Amino acid sequence: MHQTPKKSFFTFSLIPLLLVYTLIRFDSSLFVHLPKFPQCRTLIMPESVESEPFIASGSDDWQDQQKQQSDSRSYIVRFYHYKEAEAHWNYLQDNLKFKGWQWIERKNPAARFPTDFGLVAIDESVKELLLEKFIELNLVKDVSLDLSYQRIVLEEKSEKIGAFANGKKRPGKMFTAMSFSEDQNYAVANTSKLKISWNRHLLMQASPLMLLCFVMHNLLAIYKSQITSLLGAHELWSKGITGAKVKMAIFDIGIRAGHLHFRNIKERTNWTNEDTLNDNVGHGTFVAGVIAGQDEECLGFAPDTEIYAFRVFTDAQVSYTSWFLDAFNYAIATNMDVLNLSIGGPDYLDLPFVEKVWELTANNMIMVSAIGNDGPLYGTLTNPAYQSDVIGVGAIDYSDHVASFSSRGMSTWEIPHGYGRVKPDLVAYGHEIMGSKISTGCKRLSGTSVASPVVAGIACLLVSIIPENKQKGILNPASIKQALVEGATKLSGPNLYEQDVIWPWSGYLALHMQIKEEGAQFSGEIEGNITVKIYSPPAVGEKSRRSSSCALHLKLQVIPTPSRSVRILLDQFHSIKYPPGYIPIDSFDVRNDLLDWHGDHLHTTFHSLFDMLRDAGYYIETLGSPLTCFDANQYGTLLLVDLEDEYFLEEIKKLRDDVINSGLCLAVFADWYNVDAMIKMRFFDGNTHSWWTPVTGGAIVPALNDLLATFGDKILNGDFFFSCKQNRYASGTDILKFPRGSRSKMINFL
């Protein structure tokens, strides 16, 4: 039986983290090889030509030119092996004698190390042919568009802004709003509804009693802002544990040199097309302050940690996948220990980015990332925080409640073939936290971007406990995540989809259990052990592979198979979300996000429907395969809710037979489909240099009409009276068949 787990968050002391930090040895090697795929051929006769490199650096970066040119785009060419960039370029020139492509030379700190990818510009006129020729090369893994990311500063009092504003596409790739909010003028004491102004003139006008109340509230606000005190960091500092000799990589908007809040800025690197290393927005500095600040007003957790500031976003908060890939490769080459990414987005199909994250964690780097600021909706987890081997961090307030803005729910990129994974892994304080300003002083921010560096700072403290010569043999994403989760305090309030469930190994184990037919009426508990043997490659210096056994004790509550009348099947297979296509949002009231990227599922957007049906005594299952793959005799009702995909003829024929001959009930719910509205929702994406048009409306009504036409193609519409009120029947069909014993009423149109 599934037990409702409790939410993990950091307790008032870090000491329990040390007690559970056992010496776990786990090698998380990960190798992924994707099959090559054919591309459509264009009938263009190529000419043999040698490609000259285009040098991308400074303000003359290729991405700047891309904004002005629509005849070519940048593509990432990934190779199976690491080599010098020049070797990759020579290989392409020797084996690709075609006109219409150009090698882009990348001048950044990673250039002195071998790389596994190249950046090329491909003319649109020969794109299809060249992509096919690239893929045919033996050393080329794949080719993908160099996607751009954009995040926007989110002020607490303003409307949340992401990739869209006022219904229009902003520059860059689809990306969720920057995961923090800011209120420069007020601090809110959670024990009071009063807002306390920090303006100095109020002190001059206050009475003694008012002054005392003011000081008390300010002290409370300051104390609550000092999360290092709330989480017991001082106890570790007194023992000399301050994060020394830990290499902390902060992927953000940079940091200014000589900032007085930091004592150990080791290196600042720039991966953008702007000629600066400075943070001109304030986000990167704030994140660094939470991790390693030393100002008494806004202390960080690990003041002696070595800060490596990776500037991967411009002042306009735009970035490209290729910038991240180079920066990630540099982090691997320079042996970073912990990485913080207070970013997130819905593009889990950006394979170069996703797989590079896998490579980082396979190199034993601890990656911490904000889970997103798209709560309280379910299924709103962002990439990379929802990846298994990344520590995804949500936010709570000082009352230990999950913050309303914190994303939650399962990951949805596995749908329809699975239910996904529950995230975040941890929650930490992320409301009205004090951190460093760009140049001097402190400010208060809220968001999962704030909670993420809290966990990253604590991870630095944990890493610094282990002697340097033993760190690589002991520390890895699994061991750190386990120490953090098991050392955290459990919250009793949040439900299953706002918390982690099992111990945090960076992978998953799928187990299918089925009761034999003769046990269909059994009721009670079953329990037993399942033993799994795990093998991993030998470590450096070892000859034989490692093996270990893991015994899982399971206890399950078994109920008799429910009667057919209370079993409901929801069609998940025909539900589509962004990516890979432009699936529009269901509600026209949402102007800051035109894409339906949350994914419709019983445990996300439809969770209230799920709760209602379960409370009414129904049992709901999801169908992750075509309609031809389920036995209608086992279910009373098939639910088709807000679907976006078309149906095969075989499915239509089978469904008709299920309804007519097997007695299956069919319930269909759909929202808008309007061609004029879809045309108005078109936008031009400057990144891909193409117009994006919705592939359907909120639901694919024409396909549903085709599906239902087999039961009768009569379309009804008109006004009618019901319960003494005039109503409008906009569009629908008549009732072909109605369950025996049910009540129906004949209504005539006016």
Q: Is the dihedral of CA 588, 593, 594, 600 positive or negative?
A: negative
Asked whether residue 23 is domain-assigned, the answer is no
Are 348 and 427 in the same domain?
A: yes
Count helices and strands in the chain by DSSP H and E runs: 18, 36
Which CATH number is 127's domain given? Answer: 3.30.70
Asked whether residue 510 is domain-assigned, the answer is no
Read off the DSSP letter of residue 681.
T
Asked whether residue 430 is domain-assigned, the answer is yes
Phi, psi at residue 191, to the nearest 5°? -90, 0
Q: Within 10 A of 703 (CB to CB), how many other CB atoms are there?
A: 19
Asked whether residue 716 is domain-assigned, the answer is yes
Tell me the C-alpha distance between 621 and 568, whole Å.
6
Of the candidates 88, 217, 259, 283, the residue annotated as catalytic is: 283
What's the domain count of the chain? 4
From 421, 351, 426, select the one nearest 388 (Cα to Cα).
Answer: 421
Of the candidates 61, 146, 252, 295, the residue annotated as catalytic is: 252
Amino acid letter at 646?
E
Using the 3D structure, point to which of 99, 114, 146 is the last residue of a domain: 146
Using the 3D structure, point to which of 487, 508, 542 is the last residue of a domain: 487
Long-range contacts of 659-662 (CB under 8 A, 24+ apart): 659/711, 659/737, 660/737, 662/632, 662/633
Are 573 and 554 in the same domain?
A: no
Of the candidates 51, 181, 225, 449, the residue annotated as catalytic is: 449
Are 604 and 660 in the same domain?
A: yes
671 part of the active site: no
171 Cα distance to chain centroid: 20
Are 546 and 589 in the same domain?
A: no
Asked whether residue 278 is domain-assigned, the answer is yes
Provide CB contacts within 8 A for 391, sequence distance 6+: 366, 367, 368, 369, 385, 425, 426, 455, 459, 477, 480, 481, 484, 504
311 close to 250: Cβ distance less than 8 angstroms: no
Are 132 and 280 in the same domain?
A: no
749 three-class SS: coil
Are 532 and 665 in the same domain?
A: no
Largest Cα–Cα separation, the chain: 87
Q: List strand residue ranges (DSSP E) for 635-724, in order.
A: 637-641, 665-669, 683-685, 690-692, 716-722
Spans of the chain, pLDDT less than 50:
1-52, 54-70, 152-161, 164, 167, 169-175, 179, 181-219, 222-225, 501-506
Are 283 and 419 in the same domain?
A: yes
259 part of the active site: no
602 close to 622: Cβ distance less than 8 angstroms: yes
Mark out the alpha helices in 78-152 (DSSP H runs). Answer: 85-95, 127-136
Are 598 and 455 in the same domain?
A: no
Q: Which residue has the tokens 């049992």?
A: 619
Are 572 and 556 in the same domain?
A: no
The per-residue pLDDT for 508 is 59
Which CATH number is 352's domain given? Answer: 3.40.50.200
Asked whether residue 649 is domain-assigned, the answer is yes
The per-residue pLDDT for 689 is 62
DSSP class per residue in 518-566:
GGTT--EEEEEEEEEEEEEPPPTT--SPEEEEEEEEEEEEE-PPPPGGG
Provide CB contacts within 8 A for 21, sequence distance 6+: 462, 465, 479, 483, 487
449 part of the active site: yes
The per-residue pLDDT for 581 is 78
Using the 3D structure, point to which of 432, 466, 487 is the last residue of a domain: 487
Asked whether residue 739 is domain-assigned, the answer is no
Asked whether residue 657 is domain-assigned, the answer is yes
Are 616 and 644 in the same domain?
A: yes
Q: In terms of residues, how long is the chain?
A: 750
Tell me the C-alpha distance between 397 and 160, whole Å.
19
Cα angle, residue 654 at apex, residues 652 and 657 outer, rounded to 5°: 110
Are 538 and 442 in the same domain?
A: no
Phi, psi at residue 531, to the nearest 5°? -105, 130
* b/e sequence 187-198, b meaning 16+ C-beta within 10 Å: bbbeeeeeebee
Range of the domain at 295: 245-487
Tell me the C-alpha distance between 144 and 118, whole Å.
11
Are 413 and 268 in the same domain?
A: yes
Phi, psi at residue 288, to the nearest 5°? -60, -35
